[in-house]
Amino acid sequence: MLSHNITIGAECARQRFRFATCHACVEACPAQALTLTEEGVAVDAEQCIECAVCQFICPQEAIRGVNSPLRYFRNHTLVAPFTTIAPTLEELLLWHKEQGITAIAIDLSQAKAWERALLLLNERLRQYGEEGWSVVSPHTSEVNVSRRRLFHVQRADVQMTQIQPGLRRLHYFWPQISDARPMMDPQKCQLCGACWRACGQQVFSLNEGHLQINDALCTGCQNCIAVCFHQAMTVELTILPAKIVNLHANRKVCKTCQKSFLTFQQNAQNCLYCQRHRYGMRAS
């Protein structure tokens, strides 16, 4: 059945911000059902094969309308039948944590896509300080699984379920790990507030003269880069121990409008608004 209900929600960075660069879903789609347009991301429902790859990798969780693949497991081991399209790293990580899966019963010589997915998974688990999945030989009773599926005959010892997409849940399971590190250059930042208003993950917070950056919450959407007019933001996509950075800001009184403002610049004399309106145009 074709997925005529697949939609790209308003959370999509491409729809929200003119200078957004996120193209994760377009790059990952194996059916080329997603394309970039001036308005955002366009969906060709006739091309969609309902693999749900786009939903698992979207940093904004903006894609809806596709059911996650139904998968089978027994005693913490994924078993056949397997989908032709291998799952994303993000889906396998959720299987690892939510269902406690630690092995897969598959002949990798006949499933190269799954072999690549497993290599990526085990490398990531190693970076997270956890044991990787093992590969076990399929049971002979699993060889003719297509016939069982055709007649809806489920093996008594096998369970089946779906994993719901969500990068935020990965951060819940591994709060000590950051796979995207937003960094701010205080020499360029004007504390205009655009980055923390654009961030849907609450990575940024301003409290009592300190700008806090919690990279454990970052999903790598790079909205902060898209909205920063001062080019003060960068995002490093790498696996690192999570950390919280506190940047101290100075509170000053603007010489033009006499209003209090925060700045990283020691020698700043005017607030951001009066810097833009050099002739005292700001209302008092």
Within 179-275, strands assigned E span: 181-184, 204-207, 210-214, 233-236, 240-241, 244-248, 250-253, 260-263
- Residues 131/102, Cβ–Cβ less than 8 Å: yes
Residue 283 scores a pLDDT above 70: no
Q: Which domains does the chain have, with CATH numbers?
A: 7-64 (3.30.70.20), 71-163 (no CATH), 173-276 (3.30.70.20)
Cα separation, 225 vs 182, whole angstroms: 9
Residue 151 has pLDDT above 50, yes or no: no
DSSP string, 135-192: EEPPPGGGTTHHHHHHTT---TT-EEE-PPP-HHHHHHH-TTEES-EEEE-TTT----
Q: Which residues contact 208 (CB under 8 A, 6 or more apart)?
A: none
Model confidence at 279, in pLDDT bands (50, 70, 90)?
Answer: low
Q: What is the pLDDT of residue 284?
A: 47
pLDDT of amino acid 229: 93
Distance CA 93, CA 124 (A): 9
Contacts of 31 (CB under 8 A, 6+ apart): 47, 48, 49, 51
- The more confident residue out of 145 and 260 is 260
Distance CA(75)–CA(204), nearest Å, equals: 41
Pairing, β 177-178 against β 240-241: antiparallel
C-alpha distances (whole Å) from 91 to each of 49, 170, 213, 226 are 17, 10, 27, 27
Q: Annotate 55-98 with DSSP letters as a single string.
A: HHH-TT--EES-PPPPEEEETTEEES---SSPPPHHHHHHHHHH
Distance CA 214, CA 244 (A): 5
> Poorest-confidence range of 61-65, 91-95, 156-160, 248-252?
156-160
Q: Of all residues in the chain, what percent carry a pLDDT higher than 70?
A: 90
Residue 206: CA count within 13 A, CB half-sphere: 15
Is the pLDDT at 281 greater than 60, yes or no? no
Across the chain, mean pLDDT equals: 90
Half-sphere exposure of 105 (CA within 13 A, CB side): 20
d(CA 169, CA 21): 23
Which residue's structure tokens are 């454990």?
216
The mean pLDDT of 219-240, rounded to a whole number, is 96
Q: How many whole angstroms separate alpha carbon 17 and alpha carbon 97?
A: 33
- Cα–Cα distance for residue pair 255/270, rounded to 1 Å: 6
d(CA 4, CA 58): 19
